[in-house]
Chain A
Amino acid sequence: GDSVTQMEGPVTLSEEAFLTINCTYTATGYPSLFWYVQYPGEGLQLLLKATKADDKGSNKGFEATYRKETTSFHLEKGSVQVSDSAVYFCALKEGSNAGKSTFGDGTTLTVKP
């Protein structure tokens, strides 16, 4: 079955540091890939997405590129802020699987001033 493997956390960075959170996936078809962010006490929010190979999703300074050859969708940000502290989830969704999404285990990011 489908699976998503995320870099283990927690991750602690200083403000303005470079962020990478690794995500690799296993899927039988051609999934769409997503990054969601969860702030404390809230639900998940879509951060960015990519629907086919070589697509780059971007939002709020975050970027991720759909790499089919390495089955990866790593999340990056050039300069993190304290307000980026949250839990980040990588997810895939296959069109052929009645809309079922598979989520990674989440990576907790803490940014210190």
Chain B
Amino acid sequence: DTAVSQTPKYLVTQMGNDKSIKCEQNLGHDTMYWYKQDSKKFLKIMFSYNNKELIINETVPNRFSPKSPDKAHLNLHINSLELGDSAVYFCASSRGAGGSQPQHFGDGTRLSIL
């Protein structure tokens, strides 16, 4: 019954590799997000999709490519992983992109680059 689920929970890989993180929500929301949280707990928006359309694309290296096959899924593919990509990546969703709707977060994917 998990509302926003991410896989994998942990990801340990070598520098230079390509990896993907998957996210699914069963809340019927139409807006989904990817956030990056660094070791100091700072949280930064990366991307947001509304009805499968990209609506927020922050200053993120183009090695990061989101894909939304449908409203319930938002995946994140990362090419040529670098040491600085080590972080916790959170997927979130909300009902609509409007201001009053809170976001529901997954439990995060802990990415460690060796």
Chain B associates with chain A: yes
Residues 50-74 of chain B, each 1 if its beta carbon lies under 8 Å from chain A, else 0? 1000011000000000000000000
Chain B residues numbered 90-106 whose CB sits less than 8 Å from any CB in chain A? 90, 92, 94, 96-106
A30–B40 CA distance with the chains assembled, in angstroms: 29
Q: Please give, as numbers and ranges, the residues of chain B lying within 8 Å of A44 by CB-CB distance.
A: 43, 90, 92, 103, 105
Q: Please give, as numbers and ranges, the residues of chain B lying within 8 Å of A103 by CB-CB distance.
A: 43-44
Q: Please give, as numbers and ranges, the residues of chain A lying within 8 Å of B102 by CB-CB distance.
A: 34, 46, 49
Chain B residues numbered 28-46 whose CB sits less than 8 Å from any CB in chain A? 31, 33, 40-45
Q: Please give, as numbers and ranges, the residues of chain B lying within 8 Å of A89 by CB-CB distance.
A: 43
Cβ of B48 within 8 Å of any chain A Cβ, yes or no, is yes
Q: Please give, as numbers and ranges, the residues of chain B lying within 8 Å of A97 by CB-CB distance.
A: 99
Cβ of A69 within 8 Å of any chain B Cβ, yes or no, is no
B interface size (C-beta, 8 A): 29
Q: Contact: A100 with B45, CB < 8 Å? A: yes
Q: Give the Cβ gap from A91 to chain B, nearest Cβ, in Å.
A: 9
| Residue of chain B at shortest CB distance from A103 | B43
Q: Contact: B41 with A51, CB < 8 Å? A: no
Chain A residues numbered 42-76 whose CB sits less than 8 Å from any CB in chain B? 42-46, 49, 51
A interface size (C-beta, 8 A): 29
A96–B100 CA distance with the chains assembled, in angstroms: 11
A46–B108 CA distance with the chains assembled, in angstroms: 15
Q: Give the Cβ gap from B46 to chain A, nearest Cβ, in Å.
A: 11
Please pick, from A31, A99, A105, the residue contacting B31 in the complex, using a CB distance under 8 A.
A99
Q: Please give, as numbers and ranges, the residues of chain A lying within 8 Å of B41 by CB-CB distance.
A: 38, 87, 105-106, 108
Q: Please give, as numbers and ranges, the residues of chain A lying within 8 Å of B103 by CB-CB distance.
A: 44, 46, 101
Q: Contact: A99 with B4, CB < 8 Å? A: no
Q: Give the Cβ gap from B70 to chain A, nearest Cβ, in Å.
A: 18
Q: Contact: B42 with A32, CB < 8 Å? A: no
Please pick, from B43, B97, B98, the residue contacting A106 in the complex, using a CB distance under 8 A.
B43
